[in-house]
Structure 1
Amino acid sequence: MTVQACQHCATAPERRHQVETGLIMWICPACNNRGDASTVEARAIASWHLVNDQDMPAHNCKGEGVARFFSRGGMWGARCPACDYVDEGYATIEGARAGWARALR
């Protein structure tokens, strides 16, 4: 499976593996955009693609910001880099994606 470049800065992501826990994560070394950490390689790659989905709607602010997903305190959220609009409090990346899309309707 080909791992796509970061949609925020076009940098190729790095695969990081924490041997002690077995967690794998794909992360952009330039801007720190990242997917979810998982013990399953396929899930780690899939989550990278979820946070870099070109089909996610842009925020309807004047900057039309592309969602930037983050995890804080075990919960996921999305932020517009153009205006700092934040939608957070989701248990999964999938929930944060759905919340972002719902908020922009």
Structure 2
Amino acid sequence: MTSEIHCTQFTEPYPEPGADRAANYTLPVLIITIVQAYRPFHSFLLLFLLLFAFFANILIVIVLWQKEMRKVGVNVTMMLIAFCDFGCSVAALGQMTLRNYSL
């Protein structure tokens, strides 16, 4: 009996909004409302942030690649961080493209 799950979330879901037991569940209703309002804009906001990160990191690497800027260790570190963030934005753009155009 010690291997049983002691979490009631799996056995007792939130009651339907408007039911008697739902009086104390205003926070989940608020969260659900916010999520439903945000959901149509999620793809556009994500695409904007990814494209901004893509181009901003390219510009940062170009600026910090100049010979005068490479002499300082902090600038080299910032350039490497921008390069890694560029890789993350490319991977996220690829994932978003595959998610939108896959079967």
- Higher share of residues assigned strand: 1
Report if TM-score (shorter chain) is over 0.5: no
Higher relative contact order (CA 8 A, sep 6+): 2
Scaled by the length of structure 1, the TM-score of the pair is 0.24
- Higher share of residues assigned helix: 2
